[in-house]
Amino acid sequence: MTEPAIPGALSAVDRLVVSLVAGINMRALYGSEHPALASHVDRILEGVSAACQERQQDSLTFLVVGQDLVVETQPLRTGSLYHQQFIRALTRRGVERLTVALGLDAEECVRFLTPMALGGVPLSTRYITVGRVELQPSVIEEGPGPGTGAGGGAGPGGDSAIESLTAQGVDGARDAFTEFRTDRRGGLVRLEQVVWSLMDALQRATREILPLAPLKTHDDYTFVHSVNVSLLTLAQARSFGIEGARLHAIGLAAFLHDIGKLKIPLEVLNKPGKLEGDEWRIMMGHAQEGATHLCGVEGSHPLAILVAYEHHMRHDGQPNYPVPRIGRRPTLASQMTSISDVYDAICTTRPYAKARSRQFAVSVLTERVGTFHSPALIANFVRMVGVTPADPPDEPTR
């Protein structure tokens, strides 16, 4: 097969589409190691760089909308054979959304091209996010409407989200979370995969039934809480247009926000009622502990360290915990994580407290606007979860 001539008038994004189609076609003909494929893969990698540069972004998202191909919010001219082939190739595999990001390498590229060419399910990886259409009737779409499911942690939407995660091969995610303490690098790689899967699950969920994972046992609490905080934070970040590798970094950081709690003795972590003196001091130490732990993990993203450290800090820079040497506002990712953290902690039954309604959680958040939380972020979050505040808050959150 010969490479098509590329007219000079094509944009870098168009050229990337041509390279991707050619790469899929070549992979259908040649093995993954064949030099003929390698040169096409190189063109795709160059294409990703050029297209990102053209758009001044670090990732590009293609959407299939009916018969049209949309890049970010802009429809491409779809008259060309290559556009049509690209749409057909994506549709054939149920891909409705594809994000490619700077940093993509040859191996990851071939891993994407293989199922696209030969059949199977293309999965999200570090620099390629694949949003798939539900091929069976979606249970997620049939979840409860806004404001239902008081307690928020075990609704049908939540169950289906976890089931779809399982279906995508995230079995063992709980183990990966726990193993992360001992097998630091290996555990992190598996957790990175979990976050890609959460991004996939989120792309299929509607706003109203933003999935919250069900709590199976008390031992699960920190894991389930981490899944929920990651999902809610990913949803917030996406609502601001953050995509691809940057979105993944935020989702992973949110996932790991409470990693320091794994070192807290269970009798303190799960103690019913209020914590006293030393217990509270140990609890407050989890932010610093988590950041220190992540500093020792090879390959951990600086954002994860920052979010672990900052997720209990206040938006207005006033002291909460930990208290940095120089008072400052937490970063955006930490602020989003903090909102998700409070919301999920209240909505999910914890070992030490019963779940409250989503409306109650929103009322706690709105009480803290301007002090703990940014007004703009809370307004966005409330819009996103689609509930209105209920009774005034009457309890602190850990």
Q: What is the contact surface with Fe ion in residues (CB under 5 A)?
A: 258, 341
Minimum CB separation from Fe ion for residue 260, in Å? 7
Closest CB to Fe ion among 310 and 341? 341
Closest CB to Fe ion among 110 and 362? 362
Closest CB to Fe ion among 243 and 341? 341
Minimum CB separation from Fe ion for residue 101, in Å? 28
Minimum CB separation from Fe ion for residue 262, in Å? 12
Closest CB to Fe ion among 61 and 230? 230
Burial 61-99, CB ≥16 within 10 A → b, else e: bbbbeeeebbbeeeebeeebebbebbbebbeebebbbbb
Closest CB to Fe ion among 104 and 229? 229
Closest CB to Fe ion among 245 and 307? 307
- The position carrying tokens 């109203």 is 208
Which residues, 6 or more positions from 117, have their beta carbon under 8 angstroms from its beta carbon? 24, 25, 26, 27, 28
Minimum CB separation from Fe ion for residue 269, in Å? 11
Closest CB to Fe ion among 209 and 345? 345
∠ Cα 77 3 102 (to 5°): 65
Minimum CB separation from Fe ion for residue 320, in Å? 11
Tell me the longest C-alpha to C-alpha distance in the chain. 73
Closest CB to Fe ion among 27 and 314? 314
Minimum CB separation from Fe ion for residue 345, in Å? 6
Return the number of other C-beta atoms located less than 10 Å from residue 171's C-beta: 11
Minimum CB separation from Fe ion for residue 351, in Å? 13
Minimum CB separation from Fe ion for residue 352, in Å? 13
Minimum CB separation from Fe ion for residue 32, in Å? 41
| Token pair listed for 250 | 């935020």
Closest CB to Fe ion among 192 and 341? 341
Q: At what angle do helices 184-204 and 156-167 cross, to 10 degrees?
A: 120
Closest CB to Fe ion among 258 and 289? 258
Minimum CB separation from Fe ion for residue 230, in Å? 11
